[in-house]
Chain A
Amino acid sequence: MATTVAPTPTGAGAAADREPVTATRRGRPIRGQRAAFWLFVTPFLVGLVAFVYFPILWSAVLSFFDAQGTVLPTRFVGIDNYVTMLSDQAFTSSLLTFTVFAVLIVPTTFAASLALAVLVNRVTVAKAFFRSVFFLPTACSYVVASLVWKLSIFNGVRFGLANQILKAFGQEPVAWLSTIDPPWYWLVIVSVRLWLQCGFYMILFLAALQNINPELYEAAYVDGTKPGWKIFRHITLPLLKPTSISVLLLCLIAAYQGFDEFYNLVGNVEYARPPLVYLYYLALGTQQNFGLGSAGALILAAMIAVITVLQGKILGFGRPED
């Protein structure tokens, strides 16, 4: 396979190597190539069809049926499930919850991972150590991190870590996860996600930073600009644009998929219940209403698709660079 995409080599020996490739281009396939293709692709294709495409398709079918407690429904209800979901206050308010979550988590992750990347990039000693240490949380499970946050850092009684710190300043303990006014629960939810995903986006930024030609900085220096905000604003940031856009998109999609930390930190509560948690309780939890759940999931998928496309358009994702 490698020879077909290798750049055209020069020289006599190379011309001989090229021969079988030209032969394929004329329509005679390499022996066994097709069999090998299917051999390698089939297991994944089967998995993909069985566990991704078919369930999506079946979910679309279920969304038009009254399917409580069964995935083989018989009563067709048309668009009733969609109407019910869109007029369900719990569902619409869950959409608001995750919008708030996205507004909180996307900019903070962006700023924190970019800042970390810039700092780690400038570090001269123990570079590998710093890189790994900030990337490490990415490998931690959301469930485990949520439990650590809930039980030891942000538990509401006097011996929780955060409350110990408050106590040192003479403050009363705070019930972090069940205080709506002020909404302290957001601090817990956002900080755990930030800790978990920041390192990953830092690596993306780091790669982009190392791609910037150092001559640009030298030229700026020669022109009399001192290293600092101005250089960052006018050289680094514009050159990071493609990466920044990807990070924003990935981060937003990840925010929409928020489930684990909400489920494990607060459970099924009205004030912090994103759509996936609501749909989980509706379809997979005790209610087993697969019809309504599927309708909700498809509404959600459509929304994510529209918003992602819009965001891509606004930020110029995929547009050729100037």
Chain B
Amino acid sequence: MSSPLSRRALLGGGLATAAAFGLGACGSNSGAGSTGGGASGAKPALQQWYHQYGEQGTQQAAKKYAAAYPDATVSIQWIPGDYDSKLTSGLSSGSGPDAFEYHLSRSLVSSKQIVPLDDLVADVKDDYNASDLEANSVDGQLYSIPMIIDPQMIYYRKSLLAEKGIQPPTTLDELIMAAKELTTPDVKGFFAGNGANTTGGALFPGIVYATGGRLLDAENKIGFDVAQVAEAVSKLRTLASDKSLLLGAPTDWWDPSAINQGLCAMQWQGMWAVPGMSAELGEDDLGVFALPAAVSGGQAAVVSGGWSAMVSAKAKDVEAAKAFTKWLWVDNLEDQEDWCLNYGFHIPPRISLAAKAEKLQAGVAAESVKLNADHGVQGNPNWTPSMNTAMTDAITRIVGKGADAQSELEGAVKKINAELDKTFG
């Protein structure tokens, strides 16, 4: 008879212990929160998130910068895989980072997930390109600090082009022709992403820029001519049917493995991979050109991407997170230089830093920087993921399935306009 009693006693005791643990945990949590509020003596704790960079040493560098910050304990989350989803769910649930890197979009602002950062750059505004600040602003307020600028274009093996007597293409038609001529049973002419034969791969949005258009214009209206983009996208279908594209490679376009392993002669790639490609192929064998003009009257295009630093509105201590972001991505020129030049190559957004970046002043890197200056087009925070889906779906139906380009793009434009109307009235 005593056994059920003792069992109950045991369970009761267990529950009490568990409750005590729970309360204890709550207590220590609130304790940490209050130190975050700026209690004297204890440093606030901050979480900083990065996507996984491909270059060796980047994670250690990020940790090193964080450890050197004197005014807070900063822990680094290095996120492999689907960074977008992890970050957006973290931000909306409140379990996300305090400071993080991302691409600015209007929805982050309208859903009040990030805070304005104008005051962080107030003293050094002149040291940034106006267009870089604009690409990081919504409705005239700066919400993100540019960390790195990543121009993306076409890198190629000089020796393979020279063998066939091919000059770097100056029109999309020439590029298609060159890809075809460079294709052998073992080497494909061009690698523009694993889905380039269906979705257009990495060639969108560059293909729009190469018609002379933009995704959205300054008034946030459709910024391209539908007929011209239709003509350009139809050419991608020719490219896809020529069997000159490398498809289904183990890594996608942003990794230089394909061109390094000799799987292709030309590859759409970011400047970040220049050190890796130069080491593998030899500086002399590596060349670069912008995505050539896609239609008559079009112009060469470079997709000018990059990452920017933001501060979560749900940060436990927004001011501390802002102070850290200012320290690392505005004031700390030494670490910015290290981040931009010692792993992959990125253009430093600070004009003064870019001017003295010696590694970017010779060879392919210098050419890439120049092409970016002449032809670079930045992202637009008002272009939403659903607009992107509408556009890439249309391109997939044109390139992958041979649907009528004009009517597909008109359908996408209708959808995009509906969304623009909803946002801008």
**Residues in A lying within 8 Å of B, measured CB to CB:** 32, 39, 68-71, 89-90, 151, 154-158, 160, 172, 175-181, 268-271, 280-282, 284-289
Decide yes or no whether B260 CB sits under 8 A from chain A.
no
Given A69-B108, A269-B199, A287-B384, A281 and B389 contact (CB-CB distance below 8 Å): yes
- A271/B249 in contact, CB under 8 A: no
A270 engages B107 (CB within 8 Å): no
Cβ of B82 to closest chain A Cβ, rounded Å: 8
Residue of B nearest to A163 (CB): B248
Whether B92 pairs with A71 at a CB distance below 8 angstroms is yes
Q: Distance in Å from the Cβ of B247 to the closest Cβ of chain A?
A: 3
Q: Does B312 contact A (CB under 8 A)?
A: no
Check B298 for interface membership: any CB of A closer than 8 A.
no
Contact (Cβ within 8 A) B385 A157? no
Of B108, B197, B198, which is in contact with the most chain A CB atoms at under 10 Å from its CB?
Answer: B198
B385 touches A271 (CB 8 A): no
- Knowing A271-B198, A284-B88, A286-B88 are in contact, say whether A156-B4 is a contact too (CB < 8 A): no
A284 touching B85 in the complex, CB below 8 Å, given contacts A69-B107, A175-B247, A180-B198: yes
> Which residues of B pack against A, CB within 8 Å?
4, 8, 11, 82, 84-85, 88-89, 92, 105, 107-108, 110-113, 186, 194-199, 243, 246-250, 263, 384-386, 389-390, 392-393, 396-397, 400-401, 411
Determine how close the nearest CB of chain B comes to the CB of A178; give it in whole angstroms: 5
B194 touches A69 (CB 8 A): no
Complex Cα–Cα for A71 and B88 (A) = 13
CB A77 to nearest CB in B, in angstroms, measures: 11
Q: Are B199's CB and A285's CB within 8 A?
A: no
Residues of A within 8 A of B263 (CB): 157
For the complex with contacts A69-B112, A271-B396, 8 further pairs of A-B residues with Cβ separation under 8 Å are: A69-B92, A172-B243, A175-B197, A178-B247, A269-B199, A284-B88, A285-B385, A286-B84
In whole Å, how far is B202's beta carbon from the nearest beta carbon of chain A?
A: 13
- Give chain B residues whose Cβ lies under 8 Å from the Cβ of A268: 389
Chain A nearest CB, measured from B308 CB (Å): 15
Q: Which residues of A contact B250 (CB under 8 A)?
A: 151, 155, 157
Chain A interface mostly helix, strand, loop or mixed? loop
| Max count, chain A CB within 10 A of own CB: residue among B4, B105, B248, B263 | B248
Instruction: Give 22 A-B contacts (CB < 8 Å), ordered by A residue.
Output: A69-B92, A69-B110, A69-B111, A89-B411, A154-B248, A157-B250, A175-B248, A177-B194, A177-B248, A178-B195, A178-B196, A269-B195, A270-B199, A270-B400, A271-B396, A271-B400, A285-B88, A286-B85, A287-B386, A288-B88, A288-B92, A288-B107
How far apart are the CA atoms of A155 and B397 in the complex, in Å?
23
Q: Which residue of B lies closest to A31 (CB)?
A: B4
A180 to B250: give the CA distance in the assembly, Å: 19
CA A179 – CA B246 in complex, angstroms? 12
Contact partners of A282 in chain B: CB under 8 A = 386
B419 CB to nearest A CB, Å: 11
Q: Chain A nearest CB: distance from B204 CB in Å?
A: 12
Q: Complex Cα distance A285/B186, Å?
A: 38
Cross-interface CB contact of A32 among B4, B89, B92, cutoff 8 Å = B4
CA A160 to CA B263, docked complex, whole Å: 13
Residues in B whose Cβ lies below 8 Å from that of A89: 393, 411
Q: Which of A158, A176, A269 has the most CB of B within 10 A?
A: A269
- Asked whether, in the complex, the Cβ of B88 is within 8 Å of the Cβ of A156, the reply is no
Q: Report the nearest B residue to A88, measured CB to CB.
A: B415
Sorted nearest first, the 7 A-B pairs with minimum C-beta distance are: A156-B248, A69-B111, A175-B247, A270-B396, A175-B248, A270-B393, A286-B385
Q: How many A-B residue pairs have CB under 8 A?
A: 101
CB-CB under 8 A for A68 and B107, given A155-B250, A160-B248: yes
Cα distance A156–B396 in the bound complex, in angstroms: 19
* Smallest Cβ-Cβ distance to B111: which chain A residue: A69
Minimum distance in angstroms from A287 CB to a CB of chain B: 5
Q: Tell me the nearest residue of chain B to A278, going by C-beta.
A: B389
- B-chain residues with CB within 8 Å of residue A281 when the two chains form the complex: 385, 389
With A68-B107, A71-B92, A180-B401: A287-B385 Cβ-Cβ less than 8 Å: yes
CB-nearest residue of chain A to B93: A71
B374 CB → nearest A CB, Å: 30
The answer on a CB contact under 8 Å between B396 and A178 is no
Distance from A185 Cβ to chain B, minimum over Cβ atoms (Å): 9
Chain A contacts for B198, CB-based, 8 A: 178, 180, 269, 271
Nearest residue in B to A289 (C-beta to C-beta)? B386
In the assembled complex, the Cα of A203 lies from the Cα of B401 at a distance in Å of 41
The CA-CA distance from A107 to B61 in the complex, in Å, is: 53
> Closest CB of chain B to A268's CB: distance in Å?
7
Please, which residues of chain A bring their CB within 8 A of the CB of B246? 156-157
Q: How far is it, in angstroms, between the C-alpha of A178 and the C-alpha of B253 when the chains are bound?
A: 14
| A residues less than 8 Å from B386 (CB atoms) | 282, 287, 289
Known: A284-B88, A287-B385, A288-B92. A39 touches B248 (CB 8 A): no
- A177–B11 Cα distance when bound, in Å, is 55
Q: Whole-angstrom distance from the CB of A266 to the nearest CB of chain B?
A: 8
B107 touches A178 (CB 8 A): no
B248 contact set on A, CB distance < 8 A: 154-157, 160, 175-178
User: Is A285 within 8 A of B84, CB to CB?
Assistant: yes
Q: With A and B bound together, what is the CA distance between A208 and B248 in angstroms?
A: 42
Name A287's closest neighbour in chain B (CB-CB): B385
Cβ–Cβ contact B92 & A90, under 8 A: no
Residues of chain A within 8 A of B82, CB atoms compared: 285
How far is the CB of B112 from the nearest CB of chain A, in Å?
A: 8
Task: Write the nearest CB–CB distance from B403 to chain A, whole angstroms.
Answer: 10
A268 CA to B386 CA in the complex, in Å? Answer: 12
Bound complex: CA A270 to CA B108 (Å): 26
A178 contacts which chain B residues (CB < 8 A)?
194-199, 247-248
Question: Are A180 and B400 neighbours in the complex by a CB distance under 8 Å?
Answer: yes
How far is the CB of B424 from the nearest CB of chain A, in Å?
A: 15
- Alpha-carbon gap, A69 to B159, bound state (A): 50
- Measured between beta carbons, the chain B residues less than 8 angstroms from A175 are 194, 197, 247-248
Given A68-B111, A69-B92, A175-B197: A286 in contact with B105 (beta carbons within 8 A): yes
> Nearest residue in B to A176 (C-beta to C-beta)?
B248
Separation of A269 and B389 alpha carbons in the complex (Å)? 9
Q: CA A90 – CA B411 in complex, angstroms?
A: 12
Within the assembled complex, what's the spacing in Å between the Cα atoms of A289 and B92?
Answer: 11
List residues of chain A with CB within 8 A of the CB of B249: 155-157
A15 and B92 alpha carbons, distance in the complex (Å): 63
Contact (Cβ within 8 A) A70 B111: yes
CB distance from A229 to the nearest CB of B (A): 41
Among B186, B386, B411, residue most surrounded by chain A Cβ atoms (within 10 Å):
B386
- Chain A residue nearest to B258 (CB atoms) is A157
Q: How far is the CB of B398 from chain A (nearest CB, A)?
A: 10
Residue from the list A39, A151, A155, A179 in contact with B11, Cβ < 8 A: A39
> A280: which B residues are within 8 A, CB to CB?
85
